[in-house]
Structure 1
Amino acid sequence: MRRLLALVIPLLLSGGPALAATPSPPHGQAQHTARASRDRQPAAKPPVAITLGSVKPAYLKASSTLRVSGRLVNQSQSTYQQVSVRLWFRSRAMTSRGEVETYADGKGPDPQQAGQPRVISATLPVGGQKSWRLSLSARQMGLRTFGVYPIMVEVRNSAGVVLGHQRTFVTYYPAGTPLQRTKVAWVWPLIDQPHRAADTTFVDDQLERQLGTGGRLSTIVGAARATKTPLSWLIDPSLVDDANKMGNTDGYNIKGDANRSQSVAALTWLTTLHNAVANDRLFATPYADPDVTALADRGMSDDVKAAAQEGTRALADVRLSGATTSTAMPPDGLPVDQATLSSLVASGSRTILLSSAVLPDARVETFTPDPVVNKNVSGTNVKLVAYDDTLRKILGQPTTTPGGTILAEQRFLAETAMITGEAPQNPRTIVITPPRRWKPSATFAKAVLNYTAKAPWLSPVPLSSVETLKPTERTFQPQKSPLGLSKNYLRQVRDLRSDVRKFTSIFEPPASDFTLGIARTESSAWNGQSRHGKLVRDTLKDELEKSMGRIKVLNDGTTMAGKSGRIPITISNGLDHGTVTVTLHAYSQNPTRLRVDAVDRTLRLEHGHKDQVTLDMKASANGIADVYLQLRTPKGEDFGGAHVLRVNASGYGRTALLITGISLAVLFVGVAIRIVRRRADRAGESVE
């Protein structure tokens, strides 16, 4: 029996010569076989993979013929005979967004109607590939009303065993369909992760590739430049700031590597960006797109406000001065609560975009409502605007893999058509925004903007028109989550921030290369990438300690001849740029042994310059004593660690030296007189 099964099962799967003439089972039996086979197969890797290459036209009209094409790949270890493909469909439109989502997730029933199967390969060997094409007219499919219809491409062997399938959608729009177009307002994110720690040092060179042709950021800006669909941009100033730094004629420096020359890719990208944003609204995230909720929960909301101010300045420096923080959108995928809203309002935001999952409709409706609701936040009236979370997830589907673009396009068209079809006579507006750090294919990024302008059930509008809508019954539902920057991580950032503020306060004016570094360590990009965030934080700390160490006392030790003396102390500003103001505070380790009579002295030092302070000291005993020399900020805070000056008190002062000198002189005179007398006596004796 086992030997028989061992022979029969491979033949069933491969559809070998012995079964090549086996007729296809009846439709109902085929469906049962297909489902049973599909249940047994791992969803991630069916025996034969089906890739969609095109679905044309993108949406159907009454006179249209649906043409679907793609490619098969045999990814099993068996060879298949008489491989055929078939297009399954349903003549009844889907009735809700929930049904569309269920079908897209691979759940729910398959379509029950099918076109004729088409044999595309007599033999499909292991690893073999084969192109295929299928077509059906809208009339053959029985499509009659505007709506979304499920379709499926299925591949079988000669025994009728399903080897793989691929679900997708088509949208049908017959001419003259009475409906009110759904208005679509786009928010186009231009956000990355910080690539610098201090202003002068990049921690990696990944941005160069993203800005260049075919890179993620080049794709996003290029798609926007090619469309006439109105966009509102959400820009992280740190990204544009990094690109601007890379475009400097002096080049840029990467940690632990040689200097890079001026980036042509960065310059080209900045030029394209300026052209793309012309006439569009620009909104700035706080610098480096911080994790607002985590900072608010840790009592660090002031950092968000400071980052917002720095962000608008950074964009103005690259001639994007029209950007404001009046509209904000906290990082998607992270929790949002009341403290998040308060922090954004304190930073100047009066319109806040939130996921529709955070702003659900309080009423039981069968259609998607308008996105606006009013809310009082910390005594300020604020508009909360819901972006469609399902569409955001659709836009985030992988589109750079084979077939991914077509699947995402068809799902986008289906979802927007279903929103319109829920209440076709009820005009509504939706807000669409891709994931924050979106990575689309160039084709897909351009397509969704093109469909917004040309699909007969959609109409593009600017975000400003959304802000004038009447408020709905949506309610704010705060979210909690373990995601976000951790308490321990932010504790170390807070300590580092204290050191940066001290260092910055000594400059005239109070600004340094490290101020924006704190914002970079607080970026929402480090959620799930703690190793990268730690690298930025540790690099910033190392660079800060090096710079602080270049403003220092040069003296290490001195000898004081006598019980008192005036000791010159030299302070140096060894930085490459910047004028600093510091105060020298000196005190003895043991005042009873060595007293320092000195008033704190303030010095103003330009970069590369030195200055001296004279300290009066008095010793009560001979020997070595330590004096601590502490530099302080203009506010009186200790700056760096205390420098130790070793003072050796010899006990011989000027008076003692004078007395000793006179005594020696008298001694020498006495000795000389005795020598003269002795010689005179000897001379007298010789005469006698």
Structure 2
Amino acid sequence: MRRFAHLGAVVATTAVLLPSLAAFNPAQAPSAPSERDGQDPLVVEEIGPAAVGPDSTVRIEGEVTNTTGGALEDVSVRMRYSGYPFQDRSRLGDFASAEGPADQRTPAYGPEAAVDGPLEPGQTAAFSIEADASDLKLDGFGAYPVAVEALAGGEEHLATVRTFIAYEGADGAPSPVDIAWVWPLMDYPRRTDDDTFLSSDLAASVGPEGRLGRLLAAGAQDPDLDLDPDSEEGTAPPEPASPSPSASADDESGDGDEDGGGDGEEADRTPVTWAVDPGLLADVERLASGSYNVLEDTDVPGEGETLPVRTVEADPGARVWLDRTAAALQDAPLVATPYADPDVPALLEAGLEDDLNAAVRLGGDTLQRTLGREADPAYALPPGGLVDTATLDYYADQGAETFLLSETALPPQPWVEHTPSAAAPLEAGGGEATGIVVDPGLTEALGRPSRAHGEAALAQQRFIAETAMIGGEHTGEDRTLVAMPPTTWNPGTEFASGVLEASEDLPWLSAVALSDVEPPGGESERRGPAGGDATAETRLGKEHMERVDGIRGTVRLFNSILVEDDADPYRPAVLRAESAAWREEESRAARSLGLIGASVRNGLASVRIVPTEPVTLASKTGTIGVIIANDLQGDDETVRVKLSMFSENPERMKVDDYQDEMEIGPGQKTTVYVPLEARINGRTMLYLSLQNTQGEPISSEETITPVNASGLGYQAMIISGIGALVLVAALTPRALRKWARKRAAALGEAPADGGGDGGAEGSAASAGAVGAADPGDGDGGAEGASGDGSARGGDAPEGGGEADGAAEAADDAPGSDAGDGGPRDGQAGQDEKDDGGERTESGASDDGEDARSTTGASDDAPADEAPADGGPDRKGDQ
């Protein structure tokens, strides 16, 4: 927070600057019609004449209304005044703003008029006061204070209205003072992006009763000017008026055409120089050119939210106003700001001269397009009328030679006690230039409320009093005043027309063209611009400029994706954000900046990746399609973007090469096909974003697409199948052996069919023996079991089922793994083998299935591994 001492200094400085800056207050909102709590008890509707002469009759007319709860008896209105004029111009404002009953500033009593009554509550009655000027005994030329009082019951005060009268004096008015008019057609920026308006106020403003409609009609001084789009005359612009003294830069004295070239009506027009902001003309043109959007919500949308708008059809009244303006200004003197009246000192301080140059170019193009003409480049309208060295130099580089300034920029010399002439020399761009000061007192008087009932007469008298005070200063030198209303002036029609007429009618004024205002000879009565940074206290603040910088950054990113190198669709929006109109409108400026920023972000978000459902890959490789949309609709909004995609886990899911850059026309879509390779089944996230061609992301958010890999492909399936077959082949023999042993053990628990002895003897055989006896031959079974440990599974005889049981029993028999005499029985074993082999061939021919089972069982005890120890002993036992 700033310290209180510094805050006090700022407040004091502001109090000094405000009167001088009133004429250059571009952020002043158009005032609404004055609305009061009920009716005013006293309204003054007319005061005349404008210039009171010695033989004049002063007339004051108006109405009295009973705003109390009871009836009022003996209601009257009287005039109070002072017989001595004001001696100081500053006293005019103090007197006009005073409240309460009349006081010592109006000590003299004038005539009193009774009001027909009694007045019931809410009842209104008219009054009229007349006084001969000679009876007032006014003390010479000047402006005099007047108080109009409404009384009840003799002395009960009801209301007081303060105003002025101007008296010529017995000797007549002094030599007239020249007055030049600068008539503003300006406003604060009305749009966010080019198609979206902050409100519907501008459409109402260009109508016949709207602010801009009234300004145009009064400034054009054309009683036939019609702004009603529904009238027959309003269907086409009138023929441009021929050059007249009020429009010519060479002859605008208002004295008429001595050669008979102009008519009397044109000769009576007061010379006016129009001051125009091209940004306003562009806003009105957009109203007329087609349907547009109007914001419906005052809140700034959040990130990713769209602007809440409603669509409105083109406004025919805007086209009529624009056509009438072009006709009225066709040959009139015209000065203009750059587009949207930028805050030149603030932009120069921020190093944004490129933006200023763009505003100058865009302003010139807009004037040509809407009015069909150029402004006078020799005149500059610095914002707020304040300049520093950098500002003067910049305007001078643009061709400016004359600057319309505030009195703060060119104050009077300390020794000057009167209102000095408006023009003074100054230096700009290393050369000589002219500064023209807009009179702050006149600006304040013109800015008085003038639209409600009775306000126009009071505002008119204030203006008359201001000029009379200046005229009565008796300097003996020729002087020129420059009158310029506030840049967002919102006057009543009667008042706006009345002040121009007064410039011609008042004997102490002489209306001239702005081009006639030149510095007087001799020593200048004004000081030059102060050194240092004279604009620091008034220009746009740091916070505002930082927000503008953020908008400019987003616009730069947006422009980087456009194919057209010179395309810059948001340039006007940025210039509107840099307008000096936001200097004093902090809340409105904050909202406007927020909406402009949201509009630019939404434009950038219009180039987007269309979200898709999760993707499933049924094989090791696959392709996904990414849809990219360009929702922009402008003819020059073809974009070139780059798609960036990466996997959260490249070991699981690999993104292969794809066409990452593409060009998309406005309102079109394209699909990018991206190959993928899955290395592991499962879910993997892919992150997608759009970038410009330099690799800068154009969005702060990434699109996430989940990809599910559910299969690894045919090759992987073949490899897996082969592996499974190998595993089955390896495990099958062991499983079969185990099954055979269990089966043989189960069968060995009962005597073998047809061979009891053989079965018994076979059960006592060694572990490697195979019972191969014929089931019908008991001896054969015994012989088979008496052999050595050699296995002959492949030679199993018929009836191998019983032999398997014997073999299983032999495996489990004690001592089957050890025996003596193996070598001694070798030959016997070989003989038995031969004999058994023959039986195997015979048996195999009878029951091959049992033979295969036996073969499987014999594999578990190969002959070469059977122990020889114990063989003879077991044989001997048998």
For normalisation by structure 2, the TM-score amounts to 0.62
5+ residue gaps, structure 2: 1-35, 223-268, 297-307, 725-878
- Hey, what does 2:638 align to over in structure 1? 579
- Hey, what does 1:633 align to over in structure 2? 692
Contact kept, 8 Å, 2:325 with 2:371, in 1: the verdict is no
- Hey, what does 1:549 align to over in structure 2? 605
Distance 2:575 2:200 in 1: 20
Q: Say if 2:271 is the partner of 1:271.
A: no
Q: How does 1:290-439 map to 2 (within 5 A)?
A: 290-292=342-344, 295=347, 302-323=354-375, 327-332=379-384, 350-376=401-427, 382-423=433-474, 425-439=476-490
Contact kept, 8 Å, 2:551 with 2:600, in 1: the verdict is no
Alpha-carbon distance, 1:213 to partner: 1.9
- Hey, what does 1:17 align to over in structure 2? none
Secondary structure, aligned partner of 1:132: strand
Distance 2:616 2:44 in 1: 86
- Hey, what does 2:55 align to over in structure 1? 63
Give the direction of change, closer, same or farther, for the CA distance of 1:175–1:455 in structure 2 (3 Å limit). Answer: farther
- Hey, what does 2:779 align to over in structure 1? none
Structure 1 residues 543-566: Cα deviation after superposition (integer angstroms, max 9, x where no partner):
434433332334756566777777
- Hey, what does 1:678 align to over in structure 2? none
- Hey, what does 2:858 align to over in structure 1? none
- Hey, what does 1:674 align to over in structure 2? none
Distance 1:299 1:555 in 2: 41
Distance 2:125 2:539 in 1: 46
- Hey, what does 2:270 align to over in structure 1? 229
Distance 2:416 2:709 in 1: 90
Contact kept, 8 Å, 2:46 with 2:60, in 1: the verdict is yes
Distance 1:399 1:321 in 2: 33
Alpha-carbon distance, 1:350 to partner: 4.7
Give the direction of change, closer, same or farther, for the CA distance of 1:608–1:88 in structure 2 (3 Å limit). Answer: closer
- Structure 1 residue identity aligned to 2:316: V
Give the number of equivalent residue pairs. 620
Give the direction of change, closer, same or farther, for the CA distance of 1:65–1:623 in structure 2 (3 Å limit). Answer: same
- Structure 2 residue identity aligned to 1:244: E
> Which of the numbers 510, 515, 518 marks the counterpart of 2:574?
518
> Which of the numbers 473, 477, 492 marks the counterpart of 1:441?
492
Once the two structures are overlaid, the 10-residue window that deviates more, 58-67 or 527-536, is: 527-536
Contact kept, 8 Å, 1:245 with 1:252, in 2: the verdict is no
Alpha-carbon distance, 1:628 to partner: 4.2
- Hey, what does 1:171 align to over in structure 2? 166
Contact kept, 8 Å, 1:399 with 1:441, in 2: the verdict is yes
- Structure 2 residue identity aligned to 1:461: V
Q: Say if 2:660 is the partner of 1:607.
A: no
Secondary structure, aligned partner of 2:572: helix
Give the direction of change, closer, same or farther, for the CA distance of 1:530–1:178 in structure 2 (3 Å limit). Answer: closer
Distance 1:174 1:606 in 2: 77
Secondary structure, aligned partner of 1:440: coil
Q: Say if 2:527 is the partner of 1:474.
A: yes
> Which of the numbers 489, 494, 511 marks the counterpart of 1:460?
511
Q: Say if 2:75 is the partner of 1:83.
A: yes
Contact kept, 8 Å, 2:141 with 2:173, in 1: the verdict is no
> Which of the numbers 338, 341, 346 marks the counterpart of 1:286?
338
Alpha-carbon distance, 1:411 to partner: 1.4
Distance 2:710 2:40 in 1: 93
Distance 1:347 1:648 in 2: 64
Alpha-carbon distance, 1:442 to partner: 0.2
- Structure 2 residue identity aligned to 1:285: T
Q: Say if 2:604 is the partner of 1:540.
A: no
Distance 2:535 2:285 in 1: 37
- Hey, what does 1:676 align to over in structure 2? none
> Which of the numbers 44, 53, 63 marks the counterpart of 1:52?
44
> Which of the numbers 276, 287, 297 marks the counterpart of 1:246?
287
Distance 2:127 2:593 in 1: 53
Alpha-carbon distance, 1:369 to partner: 1.1
- Hey, what does 1:671 align to over in structure 2? none
Secondary structure, aligned partner of 2:472: helix
Once the two structures are overlaid, the 10-residue window that deviates more, 89-98 or 396-405, is: 89-98
Alpha-carbon distance, 1:297 to partner: 5.6
- Structure 2 residue identity aligned to 1:451: A
Contact kept, 8 Å, 1:225 with 1:272, in 2: the verdict is no
Alpha-carbon distance, 1:443 to partner: 0.3
Q: How does 1:103-142 map to 2 (within 5 A)?
A: 103-106=95-98, 109-121=104-116, 123-142=118-137
- Hey, what does 1:96 align to over in structure 2? 88
Alpha-carbon distance, 1:444 to partner: 0.4
Distance 1:428 1:617 in 2: 85
- Hey, what does 2:764 align to over in structure 1? none
- Hey, what does 2:202 align to over in structure 1? 207
- Structure 2 residue identity aligned to 1:582: V
Alpha-carbon distance, 1:434 to partner: 0.6
Contact kept, 8 Å, 2:330 with 2:371, in 1: the verdict is no
Give the direction of change, closer, same or farther, for the CA distance of 1:613–1:48 in structure 2 (3 Å limit). Answer: closer
> Which of the numbers 506, 510, 521 marks the counterpart of 2:561?
506
Secondary structure, aligned partner of 1:416: helix
Alpha-carbon distance, 1:445 to partner: 0.4
- Hey, what does 1:197 align to over in structure 2? 192
5+ residue gaps, structure 1: 1-43, 665-688
Alpha-carbon distance, 1:92 to partner: 3.8
Identity of aligned residues (%): 31
Give the direction of change, closer, same or farther, for the CA distance of 1:661–1:181 in structure 2 (3 Å limit). Answer: farther
- Hey, what does 1:186 align to over in structure 2? 181
Q: How does 1:555-566 map to 2 (within 5 A)?
A: 556=612
Contact kept, 8 Å, 2:386 with 2:406, in 1: the verdict is no
Alpha-carbon distance, 1:237 to partner: 2.2
Alpha-carbon distance, 1:231 to partner: 1.9
- Over the aligned positions, Cα root-mean-square deviation in angstroms equals 3.9
Q: Say if 2:144 is the partner of 1:149.
A: yes
Give the direction of change, closer, same or farther, for the CA distance of 1:381–1:623 in structure 2 (3 Å limit). Answer: farther
- Structure 2 residue identity aligned to 1:219: R
Alpha-carbon distance, 1:117 to partner: 3.1
Structure 1 residues 96-127: Cα deviation after superposition (integer angstroms, max 9, x where no partner):
32344443344984244433433334644544
Larger radius of gyration: 2
For normalisation by structure 1, the TM-score amounts to 0.78
Give the direction of change, closer, same or farther, for the CA distance of 1:202–1:103 in structure 2 (3 Å limit). Answer: closer
Alpha-carbon distance, 1:598 to partner: 4.7
Alpha-carbon distance, 1:91 to partner: 4.1
- Hey, what does 2:32 align to over in structure 1? none
Secondary structure, aligned partner of 2:53: coil
- Hey, what does 1:670 align to over in structure 2? none
Give the direction of change, closer, same or farther, for the CA distance of 1:625–1:321 in structure 2 (3 Å limit). Answer: farther
Distance 2:309 2:658 in 1: 46
Alpha-carbon distance, 1:210 to partner: 1.4
Secondary structure, aligned partner of 1:417: helix
- Structure 2 residue identity aligned to 1:215: G
